[in-house]
Amino acid sequence: MTGIEHLLRPDLRGATAYGAPQLDVPVRLNTNENSYPVPPEVAADLTAAVAAVATDLNRYPDREFTDLRAALAAYLTDTSTDHAVTVGPEQVWAGNGSNEVLQHLVLAFGGPDRTALGFTPAYSMHPIISGSVGTTWVDGLRGQGGTAFDLTAESAVAQVREHRPHLVFLCSPNNPTGTALDLDVVEAVYAAAERAVVVVDEAYAEFARPGTPSALTLLAGRPRLVVTRTMSKAFAFAGGRVGYLAADRALVDALRLVRLPYHLSSPTQAIAVAALRHASTLLGTVEVIKAQRDRIVERLAELGLDPVPSDANFVLFGGLADAAQTWRDLLDRGVLVRDVGIPHYLRVTAGTPAETDAFLGAMAEVAARATDRSAL
C-alpha cells in the first residue's frame, strides 16, 4: 500500500484482510467446505438453469429474487415436529453468501456511533464486517460460569446490559468451537437487548445433533430477531455464493435500503433455485459428514488430545503444546487444517472417510510431539 496508506480510513490502516490459506495439498480440511462434489444429475440441472436465463442476460435480474425467496421459505418451513417453523417468502432475504447478508444487517442497523457485540471466539467475519462500516465492535466473553467455550444466559445477559449494543451476534453452532446454543440463551439475550437486532448465525445448523432446535422456532413475535443461514456448507454449494436469512417482514423490508441494485445475478438466482429442487440429494451427505465428525472427536481423545464435541461439520481440538508447529507438521504430511488463533487449539473440517483417515493417520504420527509440553 506504499503511497496510499495515508489516504485509507484511519481505522483500516494496518488491518489485515480476511483469508484462509488456499494451498494445493492432497487433503484440504481448513475452510469447512463440504468435501463431496455436486452430483452429476444436480450439476446437469444447474447447467440447464443457467442456459435458460442466458439469453436474457441483457436484462437486469429480478430485483426481488421472487422465485428464490419462495424456494428458501419452503425449505425453511417445517411443520412436521413439535418445534414447528413456518416462514413466508416475505420473511426471507438472500445475498451473495451469508457474509453479504450479514453486511446488509450491519449497514442497516449498525454504523458510526453504534455498537455490535459478539462472544469470542466466534465467527471472525462478524467484527470485520461491523468495523468495515464504522460500527464499534465489542468482544464479549465465553466460558463465564461454564466450560471454556460455553455461553450461558446469565453471562450473555450481563454483557448485553453492560454494553447496550445495537446489534448482537450469536453463533449456533458456533464457529470455531462447534458448540450449539440452548434457545434459552437466545431468548434471554433478546429480552435483555431491548434496542438491538439479535442475529443468530446458523451457518452449520443442518449438522447439529438430534434434538438441537433452531432459533427459527423463536421468530414469531420477535421483530428484532434474525436467523442467518447459508447454502455453502450442508448444500455443498460454497462456489455458488448464496446466503440468506429469515426475520420479521418489516426488518427484511429495511434491508432494501442498503443493498446494491440488482445484487443477485440471474445465474445466481437460477442455480440456487435449481439446487433447492434437489435439497434432499445435496443434503444426503450430511449424515456421512456427521459420522466422520464424531469419529474425529473419538479418535483425537484416544490420542490424548482435547476435542470439543461438535454440532457442526468441523472439530476444534486442543491439548497442543504448539499449535503452529502441529499445523506445519500436518501440512508436511499433506493435510491442511486451520489455525484459528486460539492458543493450543486447531480446527479440522470433517470430510470424506478417506480424508478423515489421512488426517487421523497424520495426527497419530505427530501426536507425541504435539502434546509434549516439556518441549516448550
Residue 237 has pLDDT above 80, yes or no: yes
Residue 183 or 24, more confident: 183
Q: Which of 207-211, 318-322, 371-375 has the lowest mean pLDDT?
A: 371-375
Say if strands 314-318 and 346-349 run parallel, antiparallel, or are unpaired.
antiparallel
Q: Is 171 exposed, middle or buried (0-12, 13-18, 19+ CB in 10 A)?
A: buried
Residue, of 180 and 145, whose pLDDT is higher? 180
The answer on pLDDT for 20 being more than 90 is: no
Strand-strand pairing, 92-95 and 27-28:
unpaired
178: number of Cβ within 10 Å: 27
Whether 307 contacts 297, CB under 8 Å: yes
Reported as a single tens digit per residue, the pLDDT across 125-145 is: 999 999 999 999 999 999 866
Total-model pTM? 0.94
Query: Any idea which fold 19-36+284-375 has?
Result: Aspartate Aminotransferase, domain 1 (3.90.1150)
pLDDT digits (tens, 9 = 90+) for 10-19: 888 888 887 7
Residues 6+ away with beta carbon under 8 Å from 63: 261, 262
Rounded CA-CA distance 108/84 in Å is: 29
Does 373 have pLDDT greater than 80? no
Alpha-carbon dihedral sign for residues 143, 148, 153, 159: positive
58 vs 148: which has the higher pLDDT: 58
From CA 274, how far away is CA 47, in angstroms rounded?
A: 9
Q: Is 343 left (phi over 0), alpha (psi -120 to 50) or beta?
A: beta
Please tell me which residue, 57 or 1, carries the higher pLDDT value. Answer: 57
The x, y and z cell numbers of residue 320, run together, are 497442543
The residue extents of the domains of the chain are: 19-36+284-375, 40-277
**Secondary structure (DSSP) of 126-151:** HHHHHHHTTPEEEEEE--SSSSTT--
What is the average pLDDT across 279-283?
A: 97
Residue 376 has pLDDT above 50, yes or no: no
The predicted-structure confidence for 194-231, as pLDDT tens digits, reads as follows 999 999 999 999 999 998 989 999 999 999 999 999 99
Structurally, at CATH architecture level, domain 40-277 sits in 3-Layer(aba) Sandwich (3.40)
The backbone torsions φ and ψ at residue 155, rounded to the nearest 5 degrees and listed phi first, read: -65, -45
Pick the closest to residue 266 from 113, 40, 109, 57 (CA basis).
57
Q: What integer pLDDT is reported at residue 146 of this predicted model?
A: 58
pLDDT at 75 over 50: yes
